[in-house]
Amino acid sequence: METTATKTEEQIIEENAAYMLGMYDLYRNDAEIVAALKLKGLDDGIIQRILERIKMPSYEKRVRQARRSFITASIMVVVMLLIAFLLKSLPGADNIMKGEKEGEGMLRWLFKTYTNIYYYLVLLGVLQIIVSAFSYQKYKKLLAGK
Residue 3 lies in a domain: no
Residue 28 lies in a domain: yes
Residue 85 lies in a domain: yes
Q: Is 124 exposed, middle or buried (0-12, 13-18, 19+ CB in 10 A)?
A: middle
Tens-place pLDDT, residues 26-73: 887 778 888 888 988 888 888 898 888 888 888 898 899 999 999 999
pLDDT given at position 101: 66
Residue 65 lies in a domain: yes
The confidence band for 146, taking pLDDT boundaries of 50, 70 and 90, is: low
* Domain count along the chain: 1
**Domain residue limits at 36:** 9-144
Q: Which residues contact 139 (CB under 8 A, 6 or more apart)?
A: 59, 62, 63, 66
Residue 2 lies in a domain: no
pLDDT given at position 99: 63
Residue 1 lies in a domain: no
Residue 21 lies in a domain: yes
Residue 4 lies in a domain: no
